[in-house]
Amino acid sequence: MRSEPTIKNRLNNSSLPLSKETSNGKDIKYSNAEDSVKNPLPDAGGIAVNCGNTDSQTYISIVIPVYNEEESLLHLYESLSAVLEKLGKTYEVILIDDGSKDNSYAVLVEIHNKNKNFKIIRFRRNFGQTQAMRAGFDNAKGQVVITLDADLQNDPADIPAILEKMNEGYDIVSGWRKNRRDRLFSRRMPSVIANRLISRLFNVHIHDYGCTLKAYKRDILDNVELYGEMHRYIPAVASWMGVKIAEMPVNHHARKYGKAKYGISRTVRVILDIITIKFLLTYSKKPMQIFGLIGVIATLVGLGLTLWLIIERIFFEASLANRPLFILSIFILLGGIQFITMGLLGEIMMRTYHEGTGKPTYVIKDFIKD
């Protein structure tokens, strides 16, 4: 069996630049191609650079987070570039190295030198998949943005069908791993439960929120902020804009190289994310309706108990010293007042946020003036 060439040999045979001109006009010289991979660019001081949000000449942007996937990357490049070249549309591929500890970055540089449409972003450390996607979205120029995993479990051959579906007028097309090739109890069962819960809570009925293979119109992503681990729930987060969402079955392959970066422990984070998203979508613009409602109910209950105990003490000479219900009623009353106060503070903060940042509370799809 013919052995795969090592990364070092492939790099030495590639056409990597042996010098790099910096912004001050000086050249950084490298003794060989391998050194240029280890330090291909001068230190940017940790400054995040946004290359612009849209480019009318770029139709497709593919965003791929990468974390310790050195064995998969060249196979991904070959299959993905073949699919994109056949499409006959302008494209770019943005690969985000999320602080990989293996030789993923060296392979990414090799890929970039083969095809300049493949662009590389490298994080200083591991920030997580959501932030990697956000960096890709911030620097994507395409009219349509497609997300993809780097582990070869998503199939690039599904991209043309997803684009055809999007051309039917959808804002988001989500992949559905109908025949998922993962372990049942640690991956598939928690996913099924989470998907049903999310669909019920947000009224966005998707079978597979966890499938990374999704396509988005550029303007949708411009109105979505990503924090924590929320990249999986972009369709739910975007639902407040009234987006049109479609779902279609896609291929799913068993992992060939490396190992999964998460397991059943992710379930707790999923639950916390669901609570956060539900609150942000439902009450972020009207916090008084949730905190005020809880506060009013607690205040009425506490006030009612307190008045009843006072009446018992005055008219029936009942002792309150040995009745913890009296203390409990006081705490409930004070808690209700605090919730109402939190609602008022939330309203003030919400107004300050929207007025200070200029972020609208609505999204316009069409505007016909003449």
Question: How far is Cα 198 from Cα 205, in angstroms, rounded to an integer?
Answer: 8
Task: Decide if 206 contacts 245 (C-beta within 8 A).
Answer: yes
Whether residue 71 is found in the same domain as residue 153 = yes
Q: Which range of residues forms the domain containing residue 249?
A: 50-282
The CA radius of gyration of the chain, in Å to the nearest whole number, is 27
* Co-location of 253 and 129 in the same domain: yes
Q: Are residues 179 and 253 in the same domain?
A: yes
Are 266 and 201 members of one domain? yes
User: Do 250 and 147 share a structural domain?
Assistant: yes
- Count: domains in the chain: 2
Each residue's pLDDT, cut to its tens digit, for the chain (370 residues) gives 444 444 444 444 443 333 333 333 444 333 343 343 344 433 333 334 334 455 557 899 999 999 999 999 999 999 999 999 999 999 999 999 999 999 999 999 999 999 999 999 999 999 988 899 999 999 999 999 999 999 999 999 999 999 999 999 999 999 999 888 777 666 677 778 888 888 888 888 889 988 999 999 999 998 888 877 788 889 988 888 889 999 999 999 888 887 776 555 566 777 788 888 888 777 777 888 889 999 999 999 999 999 999 898 888 888 887 888 988 999 999 999 999 999 999 888 888 876 777 766 666 767 777 6
Query: Which of 282, 306, 324 lies at the terminal end of a domain, its last residue?
Result: 282
Domain assignment present for residue 360? The answer is: no
Taking CA atoms, 101 is separated from 104, 124, 258, 340, in Å, by: 8, 11, 13, 49
- Asked, for residue 369, whether it belongs to a domain, the answer is no
Residues 189 and 245 in one domain: yes
CATH number at 271 reads 3.90.550.10
In a domain, 19, yes or no: no
| 208 assigned to some structural domain | yes
